Structure formats: structure tokens, C-alpha cells
């Protein structure tokens, strides 16, 4: 990915989010304590919130530029978003959820492909109701992928998923990274996940980036209070 976040500012209730960074990895990890502003940053990137200052560019394509009064709406950014609980549409079947963001052309074919990668093929005609936590996450992932995003944001996808299941999902994400070649920004406060998937990491604290480098570097850096 090439995600440039320049001079971004977003006032939040308890502090101001101020970010100035350029991400270049295949999978970037965003690490930080809860309340540090991680979700707000994701919402900024995906376009659900507007910054009060600064600019955002993805691979040279402008997403927002406050000085130039330009703002691209979320539906046009081609940035996928998998929130913490998956946020599946309860009134649609798994298949209809998956296809929601797919443009008509080759929807069916890509559906089969991605369902295979995520191991959710048997779930396709089920209702969202009876799915387990892990299944919901994978369907949410598939849904985001089928919209052909240029960047995929994942917000603590493993929160509330038990360890054995995590072990099964990490390889799936690795396949997304390697086979489907979709860049990801991965938020978590579990160091193991960052270390396992990411080639670049950021640490956020009280709305500011206090470390940026390889996962090992960022995780090892002492936390200054």
C-alpha cells in the first residue's frame, strides 16, 4: 500500500487525533491501548469521519484534502472496512451479505473463489442468525473483499474470538495478503497478531503516533507516559 496521512487532525472528546505518517507495507499493524484513537483513525481513513485539517492520499489518489476543500465520500474510496463485530446485515442471507458490495459483472465467480479462501462455502445459503463468532468474521471479511477494495481495514477482528479459532484465521489473512494481494491495515492490541501478520507497525497513544517501524521495533519500544 501507499497510504499517506499528512497533517491529519480530528478533535475527539478526550484528546485530538494528530497523525502524520506514510504507510508502505503489505500489512500495517496499528497497535495501542483501548481508547487511544485507533477506531477513530480507521473511520477517518475509510471516510466515515471528516478531518479538520490535513490530507489523505492512497496510492497517489486523493481521499481528502481539507485545505483544498475536497472530500471523497466513503462509497467512492474503495477502502474495505471490517469492524469489530463484523456488522453483518441481519436481514440478508450470507450470500446476499457477501454480494452486497460486489459490482455485477463477475460477482458469482469471485464469490466462489473468495468463499473458498475463507472456508465459508458451506455457509452461503444460511441466515446470518446462527453463525458463530468466527464464521461471522470470515463472512464480514469476504463481504469486504468482494467489493474489490484497494485497501482493507480490520478493526480488532479477533476480539472475542477464542485462541484455537485465532490460530485458524491467521493463515486465512495471510492468504488474503499473499494470494489475493490486498493491502491491509490491521488494528489490534494483541502483540502476537501484529507480529504474525504485519511487516510494518504503528503505535498510537492518546491520538498520537509514538512509534513507527517494523513490528518488533514498535512492540519493543518503551512506553513513555
Partner 1 sequence: MSGEETRILGFTLGMAALAMVAIVPPGLALAWLLARRAFPGKAVIETLVALPLVMPPVATGLFLLRLFGRRSALGRFVHDRLDLDVIFTWRGVLLAMAVMSLPLFVRSARVAFEEVPHRLEQVARTLGAAPARVFATITLPLAARGLTAGLLLAFARALGEFGATIVVAGNIPGRTQTSALAIYQLIQLGRDDAALRLCLAAAVLAFVALFTSERLLARSRA
Query: Site residues (CB under 8 A) for partner 1?
Result: 43, 46-48, 73-81, 83, 87, 89-91, 100-101, 103, 143-144, 147
Minimum CB–partner distance for residue 30 and partner 1 (Å):
17
Q: Between 90 and 222, name the residue whose CB sits nearer to partner 1.
A: 90
At its nearest, how many Å lie between partner 1 and the CB of residue 184? 14
Quote the strand ranges of the chain, DSSP E: 3-11, 16-23, 27-31, 53-58, 61-65, 70-71, 79-82, 151-155, 184-188, 200-205, 208-213
How many Cβ atoms from other residues are within 10 Å of residue 83's Cβ? 17
In sequence order, the 6+-apart residues with CB closer than 8 A to the CB of 54 are 5, 6, 7, 8, 9, 19, 20, 64, 66
- What's the closest the beta carbon of residue 61 comes to partner 1, in angstroms? 15
Question: How far is residue 128's CA from residue 95's CA, in Å, rounded to a whole number?
Answer: 10
What cell was used for 11? 478533535
- Kindly tell me which of 186 and 201 has the beta carbon lying closer to partner 1: 186
**Least distance from partner 1 to the Cβ atom of residue 152, Å:** 10
Q: What is the DSSP letter of 32?
A: -
Indicate the residue among 2 and 78 with the shorter CB distance to partner 1: 78
Q: Whose Cβ is closer to partner 1: residue 104's or residue 224's?
A: 104
Closer by beta carbon to partner 1, 19 or else 42: 42
* Shortest distance (Å) from residue 206 CB to partner 1: 24
Smallest distance, Å, CB 220 to partner 1? 33
- For partner 1, the closer CB: 107 or 191: 107
Partners of 3 in the β-ladder? 23, 58
The three cell numbers of residue 160 are 472475542
168, 134 Cβ separation under 8 angstroms: yes
Amino acid at each position: 500500500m501507499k497510504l499517506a496521512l499528512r497533517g491529519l487532525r480530528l478533535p475527539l472528546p478526550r484528546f485530538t487525533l494528530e497523525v502524520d505518517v506514510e504507510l508502505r507495507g503489505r500489512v500495517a499493524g496499528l497497535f495501542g491501548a483501548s481508547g487511544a484513537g485507533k477506531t477513530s483513525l480507521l473511520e477517518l481513513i475509510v471516510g466515515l469521519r471528516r478531518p479538520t485539517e490535513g490530507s489523505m492520499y492512497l496510492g497517489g489518489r486523493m481521499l481528502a484534502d481539507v485545505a483544498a476543500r475536497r472530500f471523497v465520500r466513503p462509497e467512492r474510496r474503495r477502502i474495505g472496512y471490517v469492524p469489530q463485530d463484523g456488522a453483518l446485515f441481519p436481514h440478508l442471507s450470507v450470500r446476499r451479505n457477501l454480494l452486497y458490495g460486489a459490482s455485477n459483472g463477475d460477482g458469482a465467480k469471485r464469490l466462489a473463489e473468495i468463499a473458498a479462501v475463507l472456508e465459508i462455502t458451506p455457509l452461503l445459503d444460511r441466515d446470518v442468525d446462527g453463525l458463530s463468532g468466527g464464521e461471522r468474521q470470515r463472512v464480514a471479511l469476504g463481504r469486504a473483499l468482494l467489493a474489490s477494495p484497494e485497501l482493507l481495514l480490520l478493526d480488532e477482528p479477533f476480539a472475542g474470538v477464542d485462541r484455537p479459532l485465532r490460530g485458524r484465521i491467521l493463515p486465512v489473512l495471510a492468504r488474503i495478503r499473499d494470494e489475493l494481494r490486498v493491502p491491509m491495515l490491521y488494528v489490534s492490541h494483541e502483540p502476537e497478531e501484529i507480529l504474525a501478520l504485519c511487516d510494518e507497525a504503528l503505535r498510537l497513544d492518546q491520538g498520537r503516533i509514538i512509534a513507527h517501524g517494523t513490528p518488533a521495533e514498535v512492540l519493543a519500544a518503551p512506553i513513555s507516559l
